[in-house]
Structure 1
């Protein structure tokens, strides 16, 4: 056994490191041998040997990640054929291959490996101690389509994709300013996932930008496959039920937040970008609020706030009132509920838990099933199971109505991550109502308000601009003031250059309108 353990240790020590800090040699065969050893059993790595005149070279790339037509258009074979052996230099090659969108010189084999795995093409030429990286990314990618999680009636229909370059371009189309910056970084020891930290220079707080970069640099993980990895690793309070970072797949939402001094992180391989800092009220707002006339937006925001309270407390209120506070109900309603619950073998607390858990299971099943049958199964399941449960005397009809209204209320929350947090908090409220009645519900609300008052997102109070109070910020919380009155950017995120628009933008009738004639 000891010999076996010793053999394992020796075997582990003999495994070559994947990091190759060796410089690129002038002898092409040495470089290729090292790279082939490193990419052993990697059938998708292509070593394309080129012999053009007196020049011996290799093109290295990942099959499926590059645009082969683009490589052919650069005419690399013809260029190398025209070069005389004694004139080969790295600068000469770069000048000759300037038709590529991006050309970079590298001197280390590790840089060659990194760029190959990122989807670039690496050109190695014999007798040249420098490699040439050609940006010719391609392959099969999903095109720009309408966002599925943030659909709108009025507004742009384009959403982010899994390509980081497409996503930064979509944001750049919205903000055509040289002040829009995008800092590139790689996260993940194995995945080397590319991210872009986007902000508007002059609007973003330097402290905020520095804190975001510091938290990103502190990430030490083997791989990042989705934005949720980064969100969980950089948020302020990981134990909180409430999301402290907003995610969005809409370029217009990202652009709007950048214009308010926030920072966006776009991650390669996912269509969801992260926006920070975030406040509680952001999750109650939809991008569509700013495209409708302000009267409609005000009505919709009040409707959402009312239904958020319903989604959080309606089942617990039903449990508390029917169990402890029957005197609060009108006599006719009390008799109706009592008659419907007469044959129910469970108390209201257990009845609520049964229905809420069943409803959540149906909703999860509807998401996981194929789209063709998912909605049908969830709707039919809710109707059939609800009706059968009432007829079997397991649950009462009022409870079915309460749970259905609660489910509808949770769908009015624009942001999914906030909606699912409210759904989770619904269960502690049911327990508190079952044990203490209305006193338990009030206690739960006080605990949540205390927690929200202490919560911060990258140094910004979570309940701002309500707590602490900001008079200017009240124009875009419970109401959405007209655009001609919101001439200042939020004070909690922007300290300098707060002017959003010019003065005297309020519409006024022209002379012809005052006389009753069309202008």
Structure 2
């Protein structure tokens, strides 16, 4: 399409309008036009056959038009979604979205009817966010279906869904912003809407691209927007006063604002009793420190501070390092990079081949590399524990980020030993405390300290004791529970 064509309005010449459509959609084999005459007036319809419901076009639209007594009263058609326009740009965009365009003779108004027919896969649980209990459904690539899934979970008129078209002059992507009007803060909603509306991209938009355009700090290793394919996670965050963004063509929802601890919360924490849920959350947070520091601690001890280990352990480590021809930092880098290569290979290959790669990588290569004295036995154990710890994070993006952070920690430990690790953690904590997510402190409730939010951070208290919603999203209605069970007088 040319820029001049996109800015034209509908002409009074019926045949010229039809020819403009044909020229614009030339070389598109599934573009169809039909012209017929009703009560002395010409009417033309245009649509793309592959993305339009032909049963609606042939069996309903044409028949309903023929039934009208007044030829120019097309807005009276008993079709759910119909609106008038005089802008060819909107007509082109509507046809590409699966709509049918109706053009009348000697009229400068056209009508768009929604008859979209976009195929989508059936719902299933996301492979990267599996849980033990609770619901096992997931989002699909259809925007309307995803909104339907959320409305089925949150049945209230306060669940608002605002549609935005984001992109450039020709290619736009539909985005839905969802929030609970009686809970979400209007200021946060306006911040999100403003950042999204200012996106200019001559390309299709995806959740990953959206995140880079609207996040506060693009150069931070930590994600500031929570990406999830689980409807139950989105519904829970909406009821906490947060905002969800759905992108057409993607099965991923973006949640904002969030904190560091939001990435370590899992639906399993709330589907099990609070004691077990708290224990599992602590395990995940311990895994965070193990993932970024264990290889660094091993290098620091072996290279600088071996005297802090018992003599027997020093002897074992020394014997495993005796024939390795390079320092421990090189060992760690080799194994970390090998682990990343195996992980990427397992993701990209079919499931049956991925299992073979995992066995070959974990057993054959691991055994051979130790027998060849290229890596010590102890380093194999350290890297294995590090990998397992990083995989306990419920959100894949955070898991990848913390594995990435292990590399600067390794270099710091190889230069300064334990002092380098301490300096690395100090810099890391400073960064976390300074980081924000849509105006909300990223490391809350510990930076700054918010006592009321501690009830659902490191641990989880019984849900009936959570009297208020988290203050991170600044909800206008903070109360969510009475703090009592209701049936028990003492609240226990």
Pick the TM interval, shorter chain. over 0.9
Residue in structure 2 matched with residue 130 of structure 1 by the alignment:
109
Residue in structure 1 matched with residue 74 of structure 2 by the alignment: 93
Q: TM-score, normalised by structure 2?
A: 0.95
The whole-number CA distance in structure 1 between the counterparts of 2:108 and 2:257 is 46
Compare 119-128 and 483-492 and name the one that shifted more: 119-128
Q: Hey, what's the Cα distance between the residues in 2 that align with 1:249 and 1:339?
A: 48
Q: Classify 1:19/1:279 alpha carbon distance in 2 versus 1 (closer, same or farther; 3 Å).
A: farther
Given the superposition, is the C-alpha separation of residues 28 and 440 from structure 1 closer, same or farther in structure 2, using an over 3 Å criterion?
Answer: same
Number of matched residues? 489
User: Does the 8 A contact of 2:47 with 2:101 survive in 1?
Assistant: yes
Q: Report how far residue 401 of structure 1 moved.
A: 0.8
- Match in the other structure for 1:431: 411
Distance 1:61 1:427 in 2: 54
- Matched with 2:311 is 331
Q: Matches of 2:483 and 2:335 in 1, distance apart?
A: 55
* CA contact 1:50–1:77 (8 Å) conserved in 2: no
Q: Specify which of 383, 388, 391 is matched with residue 371 of structure 2.
A: 391
- The 2-side partners of 1:210 and 1:171 are apart by 22
**1:461-489: per-residue Cα shift (whole Å, max 9, x none)?**
11111221112101000111111101211
* Contact 1:359-1:382 at 8 Å conserved across structures: no
Alignment partner, residue 29 of structure 1: 15
What whole-Å deviation, never above 9, does each CA across 1:227-267 have from its counterpart, x for those lacking one? Answer: 11110011101110010111111111111111111111100
Pair 1:175 & 2:154 matched: yes
**Which position in structure 1 is the counterpart of 2:481?**
501
**C-alpha distance in 2 between matches for 1:252 and 1:340:** 48
Residue 77 of structure 1: aligned partner: 62
Distance 1:81 1:304 in 2: 65
Give the 3-state SS of the residue equivalent to 2:8 in structure 1.
coil
The match for 2:92 is: 113
Contact 1:18 1:38 in 2 (8 A): no
Query: Of the candidates 434, 441, 451, which is equivalent to residue 471 of structure 1?
Result: 451
Please give the per-residue CA displacement for 1:450-509, whole angstroms capped at 9, x wherever unaligned: 011110011101111122111210100011111110121112323422111345326639
Partner Cα separation in structure 2 for residue 123 and residue 39 of structure 1: 16
Indicate the SS of the match to 2:6: coil
Partner of 2:343: 363
Query: Match of 2:210, SS?
Result: helix
Deviations 1:93-137 (A, max 9, x none): 221x21x33111122222111111122121223233322211111
Match of 2:425 in 1: 445
Alignment partner, residue 203 of structure 1: 183
Change (3 A) 1:334 1:503: closer
Q: Which has the higher contact order (CA 8 A, sep 6+)?
A: 2
Query: Mind listing any 5+ residue stretches in structure 1 that lack a counterpart?
Result: 1-14, 511-519
Structure-2 separation of matches of 1:467 and 1:37: 60
Q: Secondary structure at the match of 1:88?
A: coil
Any idea what the Cα deviations from partners look like across 1:146-189, whole Å, max 9, x if unmatched? 22221111111111111111111111111111111111111111
The verdict on how the C-alpha distance between 1:409 and 1:19 changes in structure 2, with shifts beyond 3 A counting, is farther
Helix, strand or coil: the match of 2:128? coil
Equivalent residue of 1:64, what SS? helix
Moved over 6 A (4+): none
SS at match of 2:112: strand
| Alpha-carbon distance change, 506 to 337 in structure 1, aligned in 2, over 3 angstroms | farther
Asked if structure 2 preserves the Cα contact closer than 8 Å seen for 1:452 and 1:462, the reply is yes
Deviates more, 1:475-484 or 1:37-46: 37-46
Name the counterpart of 2:287.
307
1:50 Cα shift? 3.9
Partner of 2:163: 184
